[in-house]
Structure formats: structure tokens, C-alpha cells
């Protein structure tokens, strides 16, 4: 098998150029990503049918409170005992692979996210399937490129093709697949990259059309024309979406940190997450599952009573509840109910993922966006402004997605393709841009990127920062310097100097820890006076370095340290201050130039 594989690679290298190979692989990556998306959807629907037909009957609707816990438990056990790796935060993992792992994504991600998210969402977890399938597509692209021994730059492009294909396949949104890769994964749009990304996205969408039909995911029953007079109210909606996006981003990040540090054992995670989710579903039935049924009802103007009439709501909120609203202040109760759903959706999503489930934030952001748009429009109508609630619900999805992901183009094109609402391009653009600008005032990074940005591990569209991020201390560490001990006298030091080609000497104690440095310039005036050889020791002659670098320090922080100190060489130590080597500014510049040339090559 190994010989056959080697011959295949040799044949490819001889007959197929790398440029043509990338085009061919982009087609296969798009195909496999679409099939993976279809497989995940089928798996979710299979579990949902089992839950509805086998577990739940008219007299057993309380099962709706239990099945999400079953899903979380099965997913948690699957991840812990079969996958044995963290597969949550799919988009963040892709960004980390691009920035820190030379675009290498583990092979199990080609299938593990499908099973984990299928179990979670099929049983009613309050998350989405889109981020897991994007990770699956990216893993397909990465491993296919690795199999053909392609370089890091091409592997990065194949990851983008997998992500574009996954978005195009699961949403039937080819343009959104392309712009998602450019905005969220922060890949540069060049003549080299645009063709493979388009091929992958269009191929995946075409296969999705063949398998499931050409109808959009959220078809509109009616259309509301865009009126110029409503522009100010769409601007208000954009600002509201930006504020809700900020709540979504910081609230979810804070809750995830709390869950991670306060609840450690798998049993406790399942118990806390499952109990929290069950209570929230009991109080707010639309939090069950992805919430796509609620979105369809809101953007198509169904009567609000429909939101209380499914079997789940009949059990938890009796049908007579909506009828009784007419006896009280109906509007305020409805608004308070939906505002509470928006506030608690992130809690339900964190409870699902933190409890051991696997899912993404695509669906929660769409869900919260639709409700935010509806609530904003309802408040405006109460004030007598007469705005279309269905259109506001639709463009609200774009606003939340643009704010949460920091991706206004993705929000615009995705919602237009999801709904067929191309007639609302103007309000989609207004709301998306204003939402993005609003959250940028408070939060410079998306929920996906902020975890890496805080560690200095994030690639961005800033090419200078990208190159520094790609550089690692291993690439620039110099270990050929002669080390000396503090007890060494001047005569012994002169002998070491005669054997060295460097003019700087790290001073290391018996435990290997850095005590200081000795510069040749500091001893030049006494090194040729033999009468002083036994009078001075290294400890007397050494000095402290201008700064000391940690081995795990990001390269942009290293460069900032060089600039602040004005130094040309700085020592590197580990966490215990053990000496590892030196870094010179000239070595960083040379490595920087090599990486920049490599990743700028068209």
C-alpha cells in the first residue's frame, strides 16, 4: 500500500501541476463537504423522527424535557471515550489550525463532529449544526491536502474550500460560502484563491440542490416591498442588533468560562447543563432545538398563537394561555416573553455545549436575530410607526449574524440566499453594516476569534501581523552562543572568548537558570591584561539583559519588546527561567521576509 501511495504521488507530481491539482481538489472537497452536510441533516432528522414517533405521544410530552439531556449525555460520552479530544468551538479550532498548527486539522474531525452534533441536536439541544459541519469540511480539505503532500499555504486554501463548501452545502448559499471564508476565516481574496473557493462552494450547493431540491431553507410566503421612508427605522434595528450581538458575544464567552472553571467532572457538566436546559425549555419552549420553526413563523407572519400551539407548547404553555392574553395587556406580555427568550437563549446554548453537547452558534444567532427584529418592529408599531414585522424579523437575522461573527457580507448574502429575500438587499445592508459598526465600538473581535486574539494566536487580514503570528520561537531561536558560569574568572573567560564567534555570552548557574549576560565590549579593555585574570569573575562583570523573553511569547510581543528596549539580541527562557537560547532582531527580519514571500506568492 505504501509503495502504491508513493507511486501515486510521483505520478501526480510528474503529470499534474500543483495549480491544476488545487482546482481538482477543490471540486472533491466541495463534493465531500456537501455529502457530509447531507449526512448530518439526515442523521439529525432520523433522531428527531425517533423522538417524535417512539418516545413522545400526546400524553407523554414531558419527554421534551428529557430528550435534550439524553442527547447531551450521549454526545459527552462519545467525545470522552471514543473521540478523546475536544471537538467543540468548531470555527475557533479552524482559526487555531490556520494560525498555530500549520493548517493541520486532525483526521477524526472529518466524522466526529457529525456524530456529536447529530446526537446533540437530534435530541433537542439548543445549538446549531452549521459550525460542526464547517469544521468537518475544513478537516476534509486539510487532510486531503496533507495526503497529497501540499505545502502549508495550499493546505490553508483547502481548509477554506472545505469551509466554503460546508456553508454552501448546508445552507444552499454559494455566495455566503465564499464570503464566510473571506470574512470569518480571514483569508485573503487573491486570483489564486478565488477560483478554488468558488468551485468548492458552487459544487457543494449544486449537490445540495440535487439531494434536497432548490427551495431555500426559509422560503417566504409573502413579500413586503422596501420603502425609503423606513430607512431610519432599519438603522435603529441595526443599532439594536449590534447591542444584542455584544450581549451574545460577551455573555456567551463569560458563561463558557464559568462553566469550564467551575464545573469540571463530566458527570457534573451533564447534570448542570441538562438541568439548566430542561428548566429553560419548560419555561420557554421555543428554546427547544435549533429554533428554525420559530424563525419560519416569524418571517412569514404567522399568528402569534401558532408559537403556542405545537405539542411541546401545549404541554408547557396550555393552548388557553394565548387566548387569555386578551384579558390582560397582551402586547407587553408577548414582548416580555420574547425578550426573555433572547436573554436566555445564550444560557441554553452554553448549557448544551458546556454539558457535553456539540453544536455551533449559527442557529442561535439566526434565532435571536429573528426575535430581535420582531420585537423591535412590534415596539415601533405600538408607537404607531407601522413597520413590517416579517421584514424586520428577516433582516434582524442578518444583523445578529453580522455583529456576532463580525461579518456583514456573510450576514447580507446568507440571509438573502436562505430566504430568497433578494428584494430586501437594501435593508439587509443597512442593518448588517450598522450592527457591525455598533459592536466594533466595544468588541474588536468576533466570538470565534476573541479566544485566540487574547493569546496573540490569531491570523487577520493584516499581513504584517499574520507573518509574525506564523513565526514561532523555534524558527528564530539561536543556540550557538557559548555559555559561561558566574564563578568563571577573567582568564577562563578570555579562553572562551577566543573560541567563540559571538560577542555576547549568557551567564548560566548550575541549575541552568539565566543569571545575566556578558558583552564583549564590557571586558575588551581588560581582557589583554594577564595580571587581572584572577582578580575579576564573571559575576562581577556580567550585566542584566534589557529584557528577557519567554519561549511561549507571541512574536508580535517579541517585536514590541525589541522596540521598547532598543536591544538587538535578547535571551529566551522557559517558565522556570532556565536558559534556552537567544533571539536576534536580524534573525527575525530574515525569517519574516521568507514567510512573507512564501505567503504572498501568487
Rounded CA gap, 356 and 210, in Å? Answer: 34
Q: Same structural domain for residues 470 and 440?
A: no
Q: Same structural domain for residues 232 and 156?
A: no
Q: What angle do CA 314, 357, 443 make, to 5 degrees?
A: 100
Q: Same structural domain for residues 446 and 570?
A: no
The residue among 108, 177, 184, 94 whose CA lies nearest residue 138 is 94
CATH number of residue 179's parent domain: 1.10.3080.10
Query: What is the DSSP annotation of 484-549?
Result: B-TT-BHHHHHHHHHH-S-SEEEEE-TTSBEEEEEEHHHHTTTTT-GGGTTT-BHHHH-B--S--E
Q: Same structural domain for residues 297 and 153?
A: no
Q: What per-residue confidence (pLDDT) applies to 597? A: 52
Q: Does the residue 161 lie in any domain?
A: yes
Exposure on the CB side of residue 48, measured as CA atoms within 13 A: 15
The residue among 289, 43, 33, 296 whose CA lies nearest residue 167 is 33
Q: Report residue 240: phi and psi, to 5°.
A: -60, -45
Kindly report the number of other CB atoms within 10 A of residue 498's CB atom.
Answer: 8
Contact present, 197 and 162 (Cβ < 8 Å): no
Q: Does the residue 218 lie in any domain?
A: no
Q: Band the pLDDT of 320: cuts 50, 70, 90.
A: very low
Q: Which of the two residues, 305 and 52, has the higher pLDDT score?
A: 52
For 157-216, write each residue's pLDDT tens digit.
899 999 999 999 999 999 999 999 988 887 666 767 789 999 999 999 999 999 998 888
For 39-96, write each residue's pLDDT tens digit.
999 999 999 888 887 776 655 667 778 888 999 999 999 999 999 888 887 788 888 7
Q: Look up the pTM and report it.
A: 0.78
Q: Does the residue 284 lie in any domain?
A: yes
Greatest pairwise CA separation for the chain in angstroms: 106
Helical segments of 129-218, H only: 130-147, 152-171, 174-183, 191-212
Q: What per-residue confidence (pLDDT) applies to 166? A: 95
Q: Same structural domain for residues 199 and 239?
A: no
Q: Same structural domain for residues 327 and 280?
A: yes
Q: Which of the two residues, 185 and 376, has the higher pLDDT score?
A: 376
Q: Does the residue 101 lie in any domain?
A: yes
Q: Same structural domain for residues 285 and 426?
A: yes
Q: Does the residue 221 lie in any domain?
A: no
Across the range 311-329, mean pLDDT stands at 48
Is the model's pLDDT at 469 over the cut of 70?
A: no
Beta bridge partners of 543: 517
Contact present, 572 and 477 (Cβ < 8 Å): yes
Q: Does the residue 325 lie in any domain?
A: yes
Q: Does the residue 318 lie in any domain?
A: yes
To the nearest 5 percent, what fractions of the chain are helix, strand and coil? Answer: 70, 5, 25
Question: What is the total count of domains within the chain?
Answer: 3
Q: Which of 151, 179, 212 is the last residue of a domain?
A: 212
CATH number of residue 529's parent domain: 3.10.580.10
Is the model's pLDDT at 343 over the cut of 50?
A: yes
Q: What per-residue confidence (pLDDT) applies to 221? A: 76
Q: What per-residue confidence (pLDDT) applies to 304? A: 58
For 557-584, write each residue's pLDDT tens digit.
888 888 888 888 889 998 888 898 888 8
Q: Report the DSSP pairing between strands 569-573 and 549-550.
A: parallel
Q: What per-residue confidence (pLDDT) applies to 592? A: 61
Contact present, 348 and 287 (Cβ < 8 Å): yes
Radius of gyration of the chain (CA): 29
Structural domain for 477, as ranges: 466-600
Q: Does the residue 460 lie in any domain?
A: no
Task: Give every CB contact of residue 183 below 8 A, 6+ residues apart in sequence.
Answer: 405, 406, 407, 408, 409, 410
Amino acid at each position: 500500500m505504501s509503495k502504491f501511495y508513493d507511486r501515486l504521488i510521483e505520478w501526480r507530481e510528474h503529470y499534474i501541476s500543483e495549480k491544476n491539482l488545487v482546482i481538482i481538489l477543490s471540486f472533491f472537497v466541495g463534493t465531500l463537504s456537501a455529502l457530509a452536510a447531507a449526512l448530518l441533516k439526515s442523521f439529525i432528522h432520523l433522531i428527531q423522527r425517533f423522538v417524535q414517533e417512539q418516545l413522545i405521544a400526546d400524553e407523554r410530552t414531558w419527554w421534551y424535557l428529557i430528550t435534550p439531556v439524553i442527547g447531551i449525555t450521549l454526545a459527552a460520552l462519545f467525545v470522552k471515550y471514543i473521540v478523546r479530544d475536544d471537538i467543540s468551538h468548531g470555527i475557533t479550532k479552524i482559526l487555531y489550525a490556520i494560525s498555530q498548527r500549520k493548517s493541520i486539522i486532525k483526521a477524526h474531525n472529518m466524522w466526529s463532529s457529525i456524530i456529536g452534533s447529530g446526537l446533540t441536536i437530534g435530541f433537542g439541544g439548543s445549538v446549531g449544526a452549521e459550525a460542526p459541519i464547517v469544521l468537518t469540511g475544513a478537516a476534509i480539505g486539510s487532510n486531503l491536502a496533507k495526503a497529497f503532500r501540499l505545502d502549508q499555504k495550499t493546505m490553508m486554501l483547502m481548509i477554506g474550500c472545505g469551509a466554503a463548501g460546508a456553508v454552501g452545502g448546508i445552507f444552499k448559499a454559494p455566495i455566503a460560502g465564499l464570503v464566510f471564508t473571506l470574512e470569518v476565516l480571514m483569508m485573503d481574496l487573491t486570483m489564486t484563491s478565488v477560483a478554488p473557493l468558488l468551485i468548492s462552494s458552487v459544487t457543494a450547493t449544486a449537490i445540495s440542490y440535487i439531494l434536497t431540491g432548490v427551495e431555500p431553507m426559509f422560503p417566504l410566503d409573502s413579500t413586503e416591498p422596501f420603502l425609503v421612508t423606513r430607512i431610519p427605522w432599519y438603522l435603529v434595528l441595526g443599532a439594536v442588533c449590534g447591542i444584542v450581538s455584544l450581549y451574545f458575544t460577551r455573555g456567551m464567552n463569560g458563561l463558557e468560562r464559568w462553566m469550564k472553571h467551575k464545573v469540571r467532572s463530566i458527570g457534573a457538566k451533564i447534570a448542570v447543563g441538562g438541568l439548566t436546559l430542561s428548566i429553560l425549555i419548560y419555561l420557554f419552549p421555543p428554546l427547544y432545538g435549533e429554533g428554525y420553526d420559530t424563525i419560519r413563523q416569524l418571517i412569514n407572519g404567522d399568528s402569534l398563537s401558532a408559537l403556542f400551539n405545537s405539542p411541546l407548547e401545549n404541554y408547557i404553555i396550555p393552548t388557553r394561555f394565548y387566548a387569555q392574553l386578551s384579558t390582560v395587556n397582551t402586547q407587553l406580555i408577548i414582548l416580555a416573553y420574547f425578550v426573555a427568550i433572547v436573554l436566555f437563549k445564550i444560557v441554553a446554548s452554553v448549557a448544551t455545549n458546556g454539558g457535553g453537547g456539540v453544536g455551533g452558534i449559527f442557529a442561535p444567532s439566526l434565532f435571536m436575530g429573528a426575535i430581535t427584529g420582531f420585537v423591535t418592529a412590534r415596539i415601533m408599531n405600538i408607537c404607531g410607526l407601522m413597520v413590517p414585522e416579517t421584514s424586520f424579523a428577516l433582516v434582524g437575522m442578518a444583523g445578529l449574524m453580522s455583529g456576532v461573527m463580525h461579518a456583514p457580507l456573510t450576514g447580507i448574502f446568507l440571509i438573502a440566499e436562505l430566504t430568497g429575500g433578494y428584494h430586501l438587499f437594501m435593508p439587509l445592508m443597512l442593518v448588517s453594516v450598522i450592527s457591525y459598526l455598533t459592536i466594533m465600538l466595544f468588541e474588536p473581535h468576533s466570538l470565534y476569534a476573541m479566544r485566540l486574539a487574547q493569546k496573540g494566536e490569531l491570523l487577520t487580514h493584516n499581513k504584517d501581523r499574520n507573518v509574525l503570528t506564523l513565526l514561532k520561537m523555534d524558527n528564530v531561536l539561536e543556540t550557538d552562543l557559548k555559555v559561561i558560569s558566574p564563578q568563571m574568572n577573567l582568564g577562563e573567560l578570555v579562553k572562551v572568548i577566543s573560541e567563540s564567534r559571538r560577542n555576547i555570552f549568557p551567564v548560566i548557574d548550575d541549575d541552568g537558570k539565566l543569571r545575566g549576560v556578558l558583552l564583549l565590549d564590557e571586558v575588551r579593555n581588560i581582557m589583554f591584561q594577564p595580571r587581572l585574570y584572577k582578580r575579576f569573575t564573571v559575576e562581577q562583570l556580567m550585566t542584566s539583559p534589557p529584557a528577557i523573553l519567554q519561549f511561549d511569547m507571541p512574536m508580535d510581543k517579541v517585536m514590541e519588546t525589541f522596540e521598547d528596549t532598543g536591544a538587538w539580541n535578547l535571551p529566551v527562557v522557559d517558565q522556570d527561567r532556565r536558559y534556552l537560547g537567544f533571539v536576534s532582531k536580524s534573525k527575525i527580519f530574515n525569517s519574516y521576509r521568507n514567510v512573507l514571500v512564501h505567503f504572498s506568492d501568487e
